[in-house]
Structure 1
Amino acid sequence: MSGTDVKLHKGLNAFHLWGIAVGLVISGEYFGWSYGWAQAGTLGFLVTTLAVALMYVTFIFSFTELTTAIPQAGGPFAYALRAFGDAGGAVAGFATLVEFVFAPPAIALAIGAYLNVQYPSLDPKHAALGAYLVFMALNIIGVQIAATFELVVTILAVGELLIFMNVVAPAFSVSNFTAGGWAGQDTFGPAAIGGIFAAIPFAIWFFLAIEGVAMAAEEAKDPKRTIPVAYITGVLTLTALAFGVMLFAGGAGDWRVLSNLNDPLPQAMKRVVGDSSGWLHMLVWLGLFGLVASFHGIIMGYGRQIFALARAGFLPHVFARLHPRFQTPHLATLAGGAVGIAAIYSDNLVSIAGQSLTASIVTMAVFGALTMYIVSMAALFRLRRTEPNLARPYRAPLYPYAPAFALILATVCFLALVVYNPLIFIFFFIIMALAVAASLIARQSGEDKLADGSASL
């Protein structure tokens, strides 16, 4: 049996896929984004988020064409491999892997921070480790069980965000939100413009990983119909929630207090209802569902990405093995978890730019995401030229303008990230260069062995 014969079980419907699309991202509404206020102020960050939201809407409407035309577990890796060959596939595959392996540690630390509100003696890192062990196990048990769990916690998380907005609404004030809302206090002055660009990774955190639905495409029922429904409804759901949470949290009091915290929503609600309110305790506990939904979903995503790279020969084939009972990529899931756990306990290594551990991990994940977005949009244009007869059940609207806009804005965001995070970029570049080079050597070695075997026969 060749590597390409290894198949995943199909069992996901459109509702499951919507749950994955929203669940992958929804933790971004609970934490991480408020670091953007520290860079740009509330008004500057609002400008950043508007631009990034437009990028994601145009990207998802374009990316869906690729996902339905090539519904494979590798997602962006599979599209770039078909469009650009081995080198392009390796860049897209490992960029996606950086995004999906580095995002979970940040979410796990936020889970620890939320639990620490209730149990001050609990070390957030130990709680993060426990989260990894529990949700890797759940992912290994089976995709339909995992996706159903994802759907349930996603619905609860969306409901909790709506409750948060309703509870803090009486305290909302435009004057609170706009107070000192530009970096440097100078509207569109040099400091404000610099802050807008510096805040890009934290606006992207509102939407990061929605593209992970592509990695469940091979396990979807009728992917040509269900994936467009999941993507379009998912990105619209997330856009509404992102702006709602940001506006209500920022207008409920002094937003500066929240700009460097891993748990901005409980802290915003605490100022409105007090320390002992049942609403606050409910937010802490139900707020965990949002973090768990993303954490669990992204573990599902990186497991499929490692599996796809290994199946194609870009990683050791052992990671393409499926569990004999559950038919899930168990070794790939455990391997990605090992990297994430190491990141949690490597403060000095990950916080190389003087940022907090969470902010550094977020920025690292965003570098991977933007690289993948750029390669994916380039693959869309190339495949339109080289394979005009490829079956495309869904075609990108406003082609070529929408995908071109997404490509240009993703490139601008990437360059801004390099300027404002040069040390993290160097770290990202070294990881990518080593991974891509090693994978191409492994791929070529595997092909040479197949050729030698065929010749001997």
Structure 2
Amino acid sequence: MATDGAGLSKSLGGWHLWGIAVGLVISGEYFGWSYGWAQAGTLGFLATTILVAVLYTTFIFSFTELTTAIPHAGGPFAYSHRAFGPLGGFIAGYATLIEFVFAPPAIALAIGAYLNVQFPGLSPKLAAVGAYGVFAALNIAGVTIAATFELCVTLLAIAELLVFMGVVSPGFTWGNFAAHGWSGEAGPLSAPALGGIFAAIPFAIWFFLAIEGAAMAAEEAKDPARTIPRAYIAGILTLVALAFGTMVLAGGVGDWRDLANINDPLPQAMKAVVGADSGWLHMLVWIGLFGLVASFHGIIMGYSRQIFALARAGFLPAGLSRLHPTRRTPHWAILAGALVGIAAIFSDEVLAFGGQPLTANIVTLSVFGAIVMYIISMASLFRLRRTAADMQRPFRAPGYPLVPAVALGLACLCLAAMIYYNLLLFGVFVALLALGWLYCRLTVLRRPAGGVLPEAGL
């Protein structure tokens, strides 16, 4: 459980944290969500996205209380450990780990798909592996360098989404968007339409997945009590606006069914408006990569801090908590997560089942981890309000207890729907948790009393 002396470097300001919060998520505007159209139709998926946007808005306003009260690299692991002990910490920590380790390979495959548009001879999978090499190295180089890069590419990605909306808006018609808008070609209250709405939940969550990862940079923030609330609130408002603008405009420029099962819906939507030879299209492909890169790079930062925190507390091998001697970054944690992600990229025989593309299944597996973590985080908020009433809380959840209760209820609803429609993938998720729990049980004697290190702040 060595941490090599000094802890993580405290060098991140408010803009850095906003860039991390938005950048972690922004690839969700570029790909992944359109699989939801295949499940629910455009109108059905619009209803799903409204539901999920409410979930994330209420969750972030509640989660911010935990992040500012317990600024810890483990994020949800730390909050749940404080509230429910080692078992709670394990569930939250490993669920977050599954979310953050399995999101990057999906994004890396999308990076490969975007590059394949420009270079048809380039293998998307090999390009994905190359992305891991480049951005793992950048994360090892130093947190300030990594966070500044994240902020820059996030700003470019937002600018490109605004350009996309402006270019395709002349080709938008509501008739195109609403055509075949409900699953089963039936009305909104029919069984097929309602089933599609719930089946599409993982892909609506992809619009916002991982925004909570900014919590894992809390130990590296200069003034977490002040900067984290601003970053979170501005971040969720930014993402809600971009999600609805991108989805609605992309769905109304032609036959949206052509975009429902691909990894590059935005270039294909723009192609329908400006043609395959337009400079706008080539610009979108190249600059659009910044959105994917922002999330890919940011989630590498997130998973490395989660692995680092779990290893520091004895829930993963101690060597993964070692910091680079000069850069003060968790280099072994970065490399370990990259190896798992690369294995997932080549896991067609294991994860490409149930009639879904590999990317869709990886997205769903990541979302399972997120939803479980959201549930136990909100439960931790309620418990800590009772058991640690005197804990310093620089930011308190507005509308308590209603706002966190809405987040908790919607998260439980989403989990139930996801299990019903993705039973096999839920089995994979449970198997991964079981393997983690087996490791924790076999190594329990290696952990100090209580299962955490004193410097972990718990």
1:103 and 2:103 are equivalent in the alignment: yes
Are 2:265 and 1:264 equivalent residues in the alignment? yes
Structure 1 residue aligned with 2:140? 140
- 1:441 & 1:407 partners in 2: Cα distance? 32
Q: Residue 380 of structure 1 corresponds to which residue in structure 2?
A: 381
Q: What pairs with 1:172-191 in structure 2 (closer than 5 Å)?
A: 172-187=172-187, 188-191=189-192
SS at match of 1:120: coil
Letter in 2 for 1:374: I
Q: Which residue of 2 aligns with 1:74?
A: 74
Cα shift at 1:400: 0.4
**CA distance in 1: counterparts of 2:279 and 2:111, whole angstroms:** 20
- The aligned counterpart of 2:224 is 223
Per-residue deviation, 1:346: 1.1
- Contact kept, 8 Å, 2:4 with 2:325, in 1: the verdict is no
CA contact (8 A) 2:171 2:253 kept: yes
Segment drifting more, 321-330 vs 434-443: 434-443
Take 1:443 and 1:148, find their aligned partners in 2: how far apart are those partners? 39
Post-superposition offset of 1:447: 3.3
Aligned to 2:23: 23
Write out per-residue CA displacement over residues 63-91 of structure 1, whole angstroms, 9 at most, x where no aligned residue: 00000000000000000010000010001
Shift, 1:445, TM fit: 3.5
Give the distance between the partners of 1:394 and 1:443, measured in 2 at CA.
Answer: 35
**Quick check: 1:118 aligned with 2:118?**
yes
1:306 and 2:307 are equivalent in the alignment = yes
Distance 1:5 1:137 in 2: 22
Would you say the 8 A contact 2:2–2:318 is kept in 1?
A: no
In structure 2, the partner of 1:43 is 43
Please say if 1:56 is aligned against 2:49. no
Partner of 1:9: 9
The aligned runs of 1:283-302 (5 Å cut-off) are 283-302=284-303
- Whether 1:408 and 2:409 are equivalent positions in the alignment is yes
Q: Deviations over 1:248-281 (max 9, x none)?
A: 0001111000000100000000010001100000
Separation in 1 of the partners of 2:208 and 2:321?
29
5 Å matches for 1:198-213?
Answer: 198-213=199-214
Conserved? CA contact 2:142–2:329, under 8 Å: yes
Specify the alignment match of 1:196 in structure 2.
197
Q: Percent identity among equivalent residues?
A: 68
| CA displacement at 1:127 relative to structure 2 | 0.2
Mind listing any 5+ residue stretches in structure 2 that lack a counterpart?
Answer: 452-458
Task: Note if 1:246 corresponds to 2:247.
Answer: yes
Query: Could you tell me whether the CA contact under 8 Å between 1:352 and 1:424 is conserved in 2?
Result: no
Distance 1:5 1:65 in 2: 29
Name the residue aligned to 1:454: none
Name 2:275's counterpart in structure 1.
274
Alpha-carbon distance in 1 for matches of 2:268, 2:246:
13
| Cα distance in 2, alignment partners of residues 4 and 375 from structure 1 | 31
Using the alignment, how far apart are the partners of 1:114 and 1:402 within structure 2?
Answer: 39
- Partners in 2 of 1:260 and 1:352 — Cα distance? 15
CA drift of 1:5 comes to 6.7
CA drift of 1:353 comes to 2.5
Change (3 A) 1:155 1:431: same
CA distance in 2, matches of 1:404, 1:227: 22
Inter-partner Cα distance in structure 2 for 1:2 and 1:281? 48
Aligned to 2:155: 155
Instruction: State the shift of 1:433 in Å.
Output: 1.4
Distance 2:220 2:255 in 1: 46
Map of 2:456 onto structure 1: none
TM-score, L = length of structure 2? 0.97
* Structure 1 stretches lacking a partner, 5+ long: 451-457
Partners of 1:186 and 1:2 in 2: CA distance: 59
Q: Does structure 2 conserve the Cα–Cα contact (< 8 Å) formed by 1:273 and 1:280?
A: yes
Q: Are the aligned partners of 1:4 and 1:311 in contact in 2 as well (CA < 8 Å)?
A: no
Tell me the number of residue pairs that the alignment of Structure 1 and Structure 2 aligns. Answer: 450
CA distance in 1, matches of 2:2, 2:278: 59
Asked whether the equivalents of residues 378 and 407 of structure 1 are also in contact (C-alpha less than 8 Å), the reply is yes
2:6 and 2:13 map into 1 onto residues whose CA distance is: 21
Partner of 2:88: 88
